[in-house]
Structure 1
Amino acid sequence: MSAYRLFLVLSGVGAFAGNTAFTLNLVYQSQVVGLGPWQLVLVGTLMELVCFVAQVPTGVIADRYGRRRSVVVGHLLMGAGLLLWGLVPTYPALLAANAVWAVGAVCVDGALEAWAADEIGVAGVGRAFVRAGQFAQLGTVLGIAGAVALAGVDLAAPILVGGGVTLALGVALAVAMPERGWSPAPAGARSGLGSLRAQLVAGVGVVRRHRVLGYALAGALFLGLGSEGFDRLSQPRFVTELTLPGTLTPQVWLGAFAVVAAFGSILLTGLLGRLVEATRPRRVALLLVAVEAAAAASVVCFGLADAIGVAVAAYLAAALLRHAATPVLNAWLVANTSSGTRATVFSIWSQVDAAGQIAGGPPAGWVGQRVSLGAGVVTAGVFLVPAVLWFALAARRSPATAALVTPESVRPVQPTA
């Protein structure tokens, strides 16, 4: 299988496995494991903290020892974590399983995009990211349906199936995943903590030397600040502040919204894909600005809306725009990084985003509790506005037709003792 096709299959199957496991995960934690609200919060906080701490080290290792190895190990860890999650329904086991899963997730995050850029090539990877986004949304729809069907048998069943599929995917990747576009450092340069430190310094140096990436990271911080509030408060707002039609239960309505948003993002991603070319960074950056500005406006509109029709339309617009922005963003980052430090830069990006989520959730939650859930959602939308401004600055400085960073522009990393 070609790298392009493998990337599409991996995106679709991975999304199916993840959504099968996580769609009803909170129901499993509360009803089967018996966790209370405070314990549920601690589980989520632990996952975010592990992701934050492990993000950059795993990216550095992927750049130094190979993206393929990092992706394979990541899927094996995620699968093992989910199996522990579903097989041992106790609070300590759940905390351990979350930590294992989180380390696996950050092994894949960044390394997979860097692998795709190396194997497919910068010229074609923009199209690959767009297609992969569509496959992921299709996998999301199938995963939601699978989770609902399996939960009728046992609430642990979706988690176990998702874990089994993820584990099998890791084994399959170990056999079938090629790595021809990445060149390892010499054996002597790959040993020791000094080598890893030098790799991290190189990645940070790329960000410091190129103002576009600095602006992008500032935007990532505000994206994180805004995303947590919307994710945590939007569904409760439908249940407590808005009146959904009584023909279906709120849970069924919310599931239907998720499916509609997934299909809508497939269509929107396809339309955006015609404009995404990693060899034309400025156009990709301007497209990202437009998508994120529309997403921010939709989040604010949802927070302010009282009519159910307006609220549903704004919620769906915000959800599908956020999904569709991911492949555009990935193509832009590829256009502005080189192969030798790409996974490290992706991991730095994800760590900044995670820091924003950790910091942005409490203010939106406080406003939601003290004023209203709608006000909390508006707070999240306001956090997104600076992100749009930072991305606009980055777009202004992005080159029109050439990648800002080339392999030749990055000084070689020298190992240290």
Structure 2
Amino acid sequence: MVPPRSNGGGDTMNDAARKIQRVYLTLTLGNTVAASFIWGINTLFLLDAGLSNLEAFAANAFFTAGMVLFEVPTGVIADGWGRRVSFLLGTVTLAASTYLYYVLWQISAPFWMWAVVSVLLGLGFTFFSGAVEAWLVDALRFSGYEGGLESVLGRGQMVQGVAMLLGSVAGGVIAQATNLGVPFLLRVLVLLAMFAVAFGLMHDVGFSPERSTHPLRATRAVLSASIENGLKNPPVRYVMLAAPFSAGVGIYVFYALQPFLLDLYGDQKAYSIAGLAAAIVAGSQILGGWLAPHARRLFHKRTSVLILGGVVGGVILLTLGSTRIFWLALVLLALWAVVGSAATPVRQAYVNDMIPSKQRATVLSFDSLMGSSGGVVIQPALGRGADLYGYPASLAMAGVIELVAVPFLLASRKQGAPADRATTSETETDQETRP
């Protein structure tokens, strides 16, 4: 009996697919809890270590530079050695580099040391980006799942939001009760626990790593094929070209909101307020993840969701930059986060439905690289803007930059890719029958 096909937002999930989804959600929960312990206080942590606004956001820029530098090589590792191997390497690397951050804070290290360790933090995250998502999509398809990817990815984002809510609030409260360094140590401990969980539960399904006796040749082959299916594929290319503007702004805004809200609140030591900012973003992710499949059903094309999200997000940031009222800033922050969170699973599904399995992790890593490259430039530039003109002005500038992504999304829409309209199963069939 052939399982019923789904519309763009629903899903028909068998037992094997449910098991894959449970593992994916478990990994997402643990990793996000670990990461989010410091998200609400990271900028305050850097400033407390003696860095200026420019240096703090430059350190974040080195983090994103590390992601740019290592995204493709780690994506090749995921495609060539396995997504499980990549995940395990990520937990170890991120735990070690987080502990080094704690050491630098204790010794009030010079900026160049922060820059080096920030690059290593970026390396740790690149082992996850692309690999987990590629593992999920291939395993679901191998299990016979034919529903829309928005449903599963939306659930993942909801779990990510819950984890971020717990981790960021806990991090802010713990930092206020102890000191700014303790949440970093908690991140290390949870990451080590996640290594054990992934070692036992995560196995490559529906994908066979192509190990080669000539690793450099294999790397070149995978990278070449990934470029062919990524930047040389027009609808994918334009989505990737939009990423530096939207992702770069997202990274800056998330971290700039910490000191911005503390200024509005009037207490520079209220670290729990900084944690509240991250918690609001987390709660918005939960709502956005739930809204994603519903938004997919409301619009005929996936790019409609992405374009509307880019325009509304940019306008909200422009408005946020002009407010001086604390509670109104919180409301605008929540709206901005909901809009971006609802669009994210739709974007993920759109891109995944346009790339083949063998190069999936590398193409997704290259997509992440494009987003990170925007952060390398945008974060220090807007950080400098905050030094010169204040955080409100820098947030308004961020809104203008986010709007620059919209023309690229319109260009992707004009390509008429089947993935823009079709369900996951229909797109997969189209890819399999294409010459």
Q: TM-score, normalised by structure 2?
A: 0.82
Distance 2:266 2:39 in 1: 26
Render the CA deviation track for 1:333-386: whole Å, top value 9, x for unaligned: 111111111111111111111111122234434544444533322221111112
Given the alignment of the two structures, is residue 128 of structure 1 paired with residue 152 of structure 2, yes or no?
Answer: yes
Distance 2:162 2:338 in 1: 13
Render the CA deviation track for 1:65-84: whole Å, top value 9, x for unaligned: 21121112111211222234
Question: In structure 1, the residue corresponding to 2:345 is in which secondary structure?
Answer: helix
Structure 1 stretch displaced more, 306-315 or 134-143: 306-315
Instruction: Evaluate the alpha carbon distance shift between residue 70 and residue 281 of structure 1 in structure 2; reply closer, same or farther with a 3 A threshold.
Output: farther
Instruction: Evaluate the alpha carbon distance shift between residue 307 and residue 169 of structure 1 in structure 2; reply closer, same or farther with a 3 A threshold.
Output: closer
Q: CA RMSD in A?
A: 3.0
CA contact (8 A) 2:40 2:258 kept: no
CA contact (8 A) 2:312 2:339 kept: yes
Structure 1 stretch displaced more, 259-268 or 333-342: 259-268
Structure 1 stretch displaced more, 169-178 or 303-312: 303-312
Distance 1:80 1:368 in 2: 31
Instruction: Evaluate the alpha carbon distance shift between residue 226 and residue 43 of structure 1 in structure 2; reply closer, same or farther with a 3 A threshold.
Output: closer
Given the alignment of the two structures, is residue 175 of structure 1 paired with residue 200 of structure 2, yes or no?
Answer: yes
Offset at residue 177 of structure 1 (A): 0.6
**Which residue of 2 is the match for residue 224 of structure 1?**
247
Count of aligned pairs between the two proteins? 401
2:99 partner letter? L
Instruction: Evaluate the alpha carbon distance shift between residue 154 and residue 237 of structure 1 in structure 2; reply closer, same or farther with a 3 A threshold.
Output: closer
Question: In structure 2, the residue corresponding to 1:108 is in which secondary structure?
Answer: coil
Instruction: Evaluate the alpha carbon distance shift between residue 288 and residue 379 of structure 1 in structure 2; reply closer, same or farther with a 3 A threshold.
Output: same
2:333 partner letter? Y
Given the alignment of the two structures, is residue 105 of structure 1 paired with residue 125 of structure 2, yes or no?
Answer: yes
**Which residue of 2 is the match for residue 148 of structure 1?**
172
**Which residue of 1 is the match for residue 82 of structure 2?**
66
Render the CA deviation track for 1:120-173: whole Å, top value 9, x for unaligned: 127343322110100011001111232234332454332112111112211221
CA contact (8 A) 2:169 2:279 kept: no
Offset at residue 28 of structure 1 (A): 4.3
**Which residue of 2 is the match for residue 359 of structure 1?**
377
Render the CA deviation track for 1:65-109: whole Å, top value 9, x for unaligned: 211211121112112222343367343876565343321210111
How is 1:81-120 mapped onto 2 (pairs within 5 angstroms)?
81-86=97-102, 89-90=106-107, 91=109, 97-120=117-140
1:330 partner letter? Q
Distance 2:32 2:339 in 1: 18
CA contact (8 A) 2:288 2:340 kept: no
Distance 2:64 2:224 in 1: 24
**Which residue of 2 is the match for residue 11 of structure 1?**
28
Render the CA deviation track for 1:292-318: whole Å, top value 9, x for unaligned: 222122111112335555433222211
Distance 1:385 1:273 in 2: 24
**Which residue of 1 is the match for residue 9 of structure 2?**
none
CA contact (8 A) 2:172 2:273 kept: no
**Which residue of 1 is the match for residue 336 of structure 2?**
318
2:64 partner letter? E
**Which residue of 1 is the match for residue 235 of structure 2?**
212
CA contact (8 A) 1:226 1:357 kept: yes
How is 1:296-335 mapped onto 2 (pairs within 5 angstroms)?
296-335=314-353
Given the alignment of the two structures, is residue 35 of structure 1 paired with residue 55 of structure 2, yes or no?
Answer: no
Instruction: Evaluate the alpha carbon distance shift between residue 293 and residue 283 of structure 1 in structure 2; reply closer, same or farther with a 3 A threshold.
Output: same
CA contact (8 A) 1:50 1:99 kept: yes
Distance 1:150 1:308 in 2: 23
Given the alignment of the two structures, is residue 295 of structure 1 paired with residue 313 of structure 2, yes or no?
Answer: yes
CA contact (8 A) 1:138 1:266 kept: yes
CA contact (8 A) 1:300 1:378 kept: yes
Identity of aligned residues (%): 21
Distance 1:42 1:372 in 2: 17
How is 1:241-320 mapped onto 2 (pairs within 5 angstroms)?
243-244=264-265, 251-276=271-296, 283-320=301-338
Render the CA deviation track for 1:44-69: whole Å, top value 9, x for unaligned: 33322221111111112211221121
| Aligned with residue 77 of structure 1, among 93, 102, 123 | 93
Gaps of 5+ in 1: 411-417
Question: In structure 2, the residue corresponding to 1:274 is in which secondary structure?
Answer: helix
**Which residue of 2 is the match for residue 193 of structure 1?**
216
